[in-house]
Amino acid sequence: MSDKIVKYTLNERDIPRYWYNVQADLPEPLPPPLHPMTGQPLTPPDLAPLFPMELIMQEVSTERWIEIPEEIIDVYRLWRPTTLFRARRLEKVLDTPAKIFYKYEGVSPPGSHKPNTSVAQAYYNKKEGITRIATETGAGQWGSALSFAGACFGLEIKVYMVRVSYDQKPYRRIMMEAWGANCVPSPSPDTNVGRRVLADDPDCPGSLGLAISEAVEDAMTRDDTHYSLGSVLNHVLLHNTINGLEAKVLMEEADAYPDIIIGCAGGGSNAAGLFLPFLKDKLDGTKPDLRVINVEPYSCPTLTKGPYAYDYGDSAKLAPIVKMYTLGHGYMPPPIHAGGLRYHGMAPLTCHLLKLGLVEAKAVHQLETFQAGITFARTEGILSAPETMHAIRAVIDEALACKESGEAKTILFNHSGHGHVDMHAYDAYLSGKLQDYEYPDALIKEALADLPKVG
Ligand SMILES: *Cc1c(COP(=O)(O)O)cnc(C)c1O
């Protein structure tokens, strides 16, 4: 009864052995990243205080396939390959002719796609003799993903967690501590930048950009410590392509190919991890009509409202200057529940692809994402992370458009994680207390006035 199948699975033996590097196939190369102090193009040695050399080389590599070390595969085995689902019950409730598929990444130990890269990053750091990694986290998913990876490879992990999430989401901190990490609210008194901000505003809710500044300062000032970023960078997107490569094999098993691929976009990694291996077919001309949609919050509309400009990766101007769609490095978005989507910029790779017209972007309101997330929970069962609900909203909109037009399109989306530690957000929605925010026009204007004068 193949017409009833909802799960497509791979054997553990079929875990991909190579990541796909889209830099080999870009029609134009990425604009070069610049040094935050000099404004000159960055060189690999500039990054050596922050990252192990193997990750720096992956960042700039134009090799199409990069082999995954056996030690990383052995940890991936704990939850990979992940399952491809056909959302038949959602399709039925929407009464749509569209076929909806999703790849479910919420089965990893921390509950999201993020250990695809945290495990790889911990491994390369360990291999280079590093014993401690400092990082930031928004909603707490990245901090927990790196803490899990630190436990796998015996590394000490220090996490600067955006204050608003630290207060809203104590369970993420407890997960990090269970895996042996040290997690503090950002701004923290542990760094110069944190102390400066706290002196001005003791109640500062923090931002991802500010937390990045703290973690970068920590790593720059200690020899035993490197920095690690959970999204945005080329190597992070690279590591996540393992998911899209699995999905390609599984879609073939389902005898389907997506017309539209959808993912939510905070820094861009989970969406790109799924779509890049398929985009390869668009780049080589075999699937010219493939559509890719990156979905972001209306409160942090980087791709849909930001200019394509050089900007700092963090608010203290310590991280490299990269060309991206940006709302300005000082932008602090309203405190929406999708903490992982509150970053002022976006992966330069995703931005480059958007600029070239190869992918699309869409912004959605918080309230309509929860409506979609609840519909998903009541049909497919999974309680999704608020970030993931952004993708689900766009999927439902596309499926309803198919109902209007009568087209039986195939939609594939990345289900980036479960929402089991976001029950307070569900509670706010279910009790009618969840609200949309006004468009943060003035905040964005102010932040954009401070872009670096380079490029
Ligand atoms: C972190 C996170 C995101 C956003 O990050 P990207 O790098 O854009 O993928 C989305 N969904 C979940 C569940 C996350 O944890």
- Counting ligand 1 atoms within 8 A of each CB, the residue from 231, 234, 349, 384 with the most, and so the one to mutate, is 231
What distance in Å separates the CA atoms of residue 219 and residue 135, rounded to the nearest whole number?
Answer: 9
- Counting ligand 1 atoms within 8 A of each CB, the residue from 175, 344, 387 with the most, and so the one to mutate, is 387
What distance in Å separates the CA atoms of residue 9 and residue 304, rounded to the nearest whole number?
Answer: 35
Is 217 contained in some domain? no
The greatest distance separating any two alpha carbons of the chain, rounded to the nearest whole angstrom, comes to: 66
Nearest CA to ligand 1 atom 1: 340
> What spacing in Å lies between the alpha carbon of 7 and ligand 1's midpoint?
23
> What spacing in Å lies between the alpha carbon of 115 and ligand 1's midpoint?
11
Is 28 contained in some domain? no
Give the chain's domain count. Answer: 1
Is 332 contained in some domain? yes
> What residues of the chain score a pLDDT lower than 50?
none
Is 416 contained in some domain? yes
Whole-structure pTM value: 0.96
Is 139 contained in some domain? no
Is 212 contained in some domain? no
Nearest CA to ligand 1 atom 10: 387
Name every protein residue with a CB atom under 6 angstroms from any ligand 1 atom: 112, 114, 141-142, 231, 264-270, 340-341, 385, 387-388, 416-417
Q: Pick from 247, 249, 242, 250: which is nearest to 261 by CA?
A: 247
- Counting ligand 1 atoms within 8 A of each CB, the residue from 104, 108, 112, 413 with the most, and so the one to mutate, is 112
> What spacing in Å lies between the alpha carbon of 394 and ligand 1's midpoint?
16
What pLDDT is attached to residue 454? 83
Q: Which residues form the domain of 322?
A: 2-14+69-111+234-448
What pLDDT is attached to residue 2? 60
CATH number assigned to the domain comprising residue 441: 3.40.50.1100
Under a CB-based contact definition with an 8 Å cutoff, are residues 327 and 321 in contact? no
Is 414 contained in some domain? yes
DSSP at 156: E
What distance in Å separates the CA atoms of residue 10 and residue 189, rounded to the nearest whole number?
Answer: 47
Is 310 contained in some domain? yes
What pLDDT is attached to residue 420? 96
